[in-house]
Amino acid sequence: MEIREIKIASRNSLKGRRGMAIGAWIVAGIIPWALINFITPVLGSMFGSFIEMVLDIAINILLAGVLVAGLNWLFLGIVDNKNEEFGNLFDGFKHYGKLVKLTFAVSIYIAFWALLFLVPILIVVLIIATGFSDRIGEFAVVAGTIVGLVSSFLARWTVGLRYALVNYLVKDYPAITSKAAIDESIDLMEGRKMKYFLLNLHFFMWYVPSIILFIIGLIPFVRLAFEIIDEIYHGFFTSLMAIEDMIHYVVTDSIGSILVGLALLIIAGIYHIGISFYVAPNRHAANAMFYRSISDEVSDGIKRNFSNAEYVEPFVFADNTPPKEVPTRLQLENERMRIEEELRIKIKEIIINSAVATDRFDYEEIPIIWTTEGIKTVILAPHTGEELTVLIHEVENYFPPKEEFENEKVNFGGDDDV
């Protein structure tokens, strides 16, 4: 599917369910946000900033990651036109251990790549810093913040895109391991990262006005902070009383621009929150539709979950049990080819034991069709020569054993008519 088709299809899937989707999105975000902004600061003031940092990381891995997975699954169900409910948001806790390991592993990978981006950027910043030796303290604060944000952004939206599908894979394949989900996501995103980036860029553009307003609104406060730091740095105010008087003077002198900046920040915040109620559900649904379009594309419409007993025919596996772990795409393709070969042999045996005209039968040409109803093939009915698409286990109904159908001649897959 093209990006435009994905956006249209995902938006249509939200009809009648947007309210539930918005509610789930709010809850998934507000629970970890409330813990990080209200609970951990209190504990940090009691036990130190290091404990606060550890708790923030723990909340993101142990709680936020699982809620995000549940949110991804809920939107995947929506685009699959399933009867999803608000409670499905918490389905991730049914696979809590796996999702925690997955969130931790992906976080480590992205952090590692962020460090790799950080080093060259930091070198450039240090070179530039030599021209600001008289105000190195101020430059270090601003540059450090910018470098951290840039490196995190690059890691998340370049290398990090490789892991964008891990949660969806766990939903489709509950038996998949964390490592297999990461490997499969990397495999599926190969050659598709730019498409995924452009899809999300469309939704990001909705936030550009609020970002511009925020930056403009922040300018008076940044300028005020630099003026205060500059005065203190150059030692014009040495006592605490003098510093307080200086801050009061600077603030009073800049009160007009500060009020304008504050108004712009409030407008930016209101716009950002308001537009998110429309954009966020659309983005989550579009990402789920992006995954589903890939899963259908790479399998040519084949349902790839080999652990579904209603889908896989009983005779496919020798011991009549599905594999314990879902294979990677390459392993899956090899397994599919093996299964199709076994099915062709089985169909050939049925035909040979029933038909007389076996000299024109080439079992390698027997089509094998994978559908959600089961594995099918195409046969030519013995009596009429009519082309029929039937389930594998129904073939024997058309070709009874030779002793029951002794005089029938059957053409299956040949060039000549019966």
CB 62 within 8 A of CB 54: no
Mean pLDDT (the chain) is 75
Token pair listed for 387:
């082309």
* Residue with more model confidence, 230 or 337: 337
Q: Which two tokens stand for residue 383?
A: 């009596």
Strands of the sheet containing 374-380, edge to edge, are 368-371, 374-380, 387-391
Tokens describing residue 415? 């060039």
DSSP string, 39-108: IHHHHHHHH-HHHHHHHHHHHIIIIIHHHHHHHHHHHHHHHTT----GGGGGGGGGGHHHHHHHHHHHHH
pLDDT at res. 376: 80
Using DSSP's 3-state secondary structure scheme, residue 390 falls into strand
- Per the structure block, which two tokens stand in for 176? 């998949």
Position 358 pLDDT exceeds 50:
no
Per the CB < 8 A criterion, the answer to whether 354 and 336 are in contact is no
Residue 96 has pLDDT above 80, yes or no: yes
In this structure, is the dihedral angle defined by the CA atoms of residues 22, 28, 29 and 30, taken in order, positive or negative? positive
Asked whether residue 266 carries a pLDDT value surpassing 70, the answer given is: yes
Angstrom CA distances, 77 to 68, 125, 208, stand at 14, 46, 30
Q: How far apart are CA 155 and CA 10, in angstroms?
A: 27
pLDDT for the residue numbered 146: 61
pLDDT value at position 382? 64
Report the share of the chain in percent with pLDDT over 70.
64
Q: What does each C-alpha distance from 391 to 303, 312, 343, 368 come to in angstroms?
A: 15, 11, 11, 10
Kindly give the pairing relationship between strand 374-380 and strand 368-371. Answer: antiparallel
**Element at 230 (helix H, strand E):** helix 208-233
The SS3 call for residue 355 is coil
Reported residue count of the chain is 418
DSSP H/E element including 126: helix 96-129
d(CA 292, CA 169): 10
- Which of 59-63, 236-240, 245-249 shows the lowest per-residue confidence on average (mean pLDDT)? 236-240
Overall average pLDDT of the 223-251 stretch: 61
The larger pLDDT score, comparing residue 251 to residue 92, is at: 92
What lies within 8 Å, CB to CB, of 342 at 6+ separation is: 316
Residue 357 confidence (pLDDT) above 50: no
Mean of the pLDDT values across residues 51-78? 92
Q: pLDDT category, 249, cuts 50, 70, 90?
A: low
Are the C-beta atoms of residues 246 and 163 closer than 8 Å to each other? no
313 versus 85: the higher-pLDDT residue is 85
pLDDT tier, 245 (very low <50, low <70, confident <90, very high otherwise): low
How far lies 399's CA from each of 77, 377, 382, in Å? 41, 14, 8
The pLDDT of residue 157 is 61
- Pick 337 or 43 by higher pLDDT: 43
Burial class of residue 373 in the structure, from the number of CB atoms within 10 Å of its CB (0-12 exposed, 13-18 middle, 19+ buried):
exposed
Q: What percent of the chain has pLDDT over 90?
A: 25
| Average pLDDT of the residues in 281-297 | 89
Tell me the pLDDT tens digit for each residue of 291-328: 988 887 665 433 343 333 333 333 333 444 444 555 55
- Examine the pLDDT at 236 and tell me if it is beyond 60: no
Query: Six-digit token pair at 412?
Result: 């299956």
Average pLDDT over residues 244-249: 59
Q: Is the pLDDT confidence value at 416 over 60?
A: no
Crossing angle (nearest 10°) for helices 240-253 and 208-233: 140
The H-or-E segment that residue 284 falls in is helix 255-298
DSSP 37: I
Instruction: Give 233's pLDDT tier (boundaries 50, 70, 90).
Output: low
Q: What pLDDT, in 10s, does the model give residues 136-179?
A: 555 555 555 565 556 566 656 667 788 899 999 888 888 788 88
State mean pLDDT over 24-48. 88
Tens-digit pLDDT profile for residues 368-393: 787 767 778 877 766 666 777 878 77
